[in-house]
Amino acid sequence: MVKRADLQRDRFYKAAKKEGYRSRSAFKLVQIADKFEVIKAGDAVVDLGAAPGGWSEVAHELVGERGVVISVDVQPIAKIDGVMVVKSDITREEESITAIKAALVAQGRDAVDVVISDASPQLSGNRDFDQFRSFELSTSALNIASALLKKQGNFVAKIFQGSYYNQFYKSVKERFRETRAYSPAATRKRSAEVYVIGKGCR
């Protein structure tokens, strides 16, 4: 029997192919950006856990030619015109911050308007362990965002729902004026992931 979630997956997979995005995840950022207006033309955006690059493609479209997108991942990312790639493990926070700052300077910028993170751990099959690894990645994304974002900057990060979710949401709430949680329609129905959005870095 074809499950509704499979039909939905097909819908976004087909749409990603039609629009020329490299991942169906691209539509999650399209939906988040549309609903929460976190990225605007001219912004400097840092995309953490960016491979293969669907979110970076969307971010590049949103910031336009005056904007900057820096994509960070441990995996290689095939070239995207107008996007700078930094190979780094985001849990090595200081190293990542140094590398991102160097990339920013190379682009003639000194501050970041938006940090987005779709970073996910390799799934082990152990739900508690995977939730913890997701929490670690989201926390590193938040720490990197705290070091780089300008005042009033915005933040989006994926986290798996579970024991650590409330703690992460609270940490985002402490650092941003407005905090929301959202599951875009492009998220698979059986997925435990949720996106936490922080607007207006304190």
Ligand X SMILES: C[S@@+](CC[C@H](N)C(=O)[O-])C[C@H]1O[C@@H](n2cnc3c(N)ncnc32)[C@H](O)[C@@H]1O
Q: Does 198 contact ligand X by CB under 6 A?
A: no
* Residue 44 CB neighbour total at 10 angstroms: 23
Stretch 93-132: interaction string toward ligand X, x if CB under 6 A? -------------------------xxxx-----------
Q: Of 32, 62, 137, 141, which lies in the binding site for ligand X, with binding defined by CB under 6 A?
A: 137
3-state secondary structure of 157: strand
170 given a catalytic annotation: no
Q: Of 32, 90, 103, 104, which lies in the binding site for ligand X, with binding defined by CB under 6 A?
A: 90
Strands, sheet with 112-117, edge to edge from the N-terminal-most edge strand: 83-87, 68-73, 44-48, 112-117, 149-160, 193-201, 176-182
Sites for ligand X among residues 144-173 (CB under 6 A): none
Catalytic residue among 14, 18, 101, 158: 158
Q: Of 30, 32, 54, 171, which lies in the binding site for ligand X, with binding defined by CB under 6 A?
A: 54
E runs forming strands in 25-148 = 44-48, 68-73, 83-87, 112-117
Of 5-13, 89-97, 106-114, 184-192, the segment contacting ligand X by CB under 6 A is: 89-97
Cα–Cα distances in angstroms (integers) from residue 121 to residues 73, 96, 134, 147, in the given order: 12, 17, 6, 23
Q: Does 134 contact ligand X by CB under 6 A?
A: no
Catalytic residues: 158
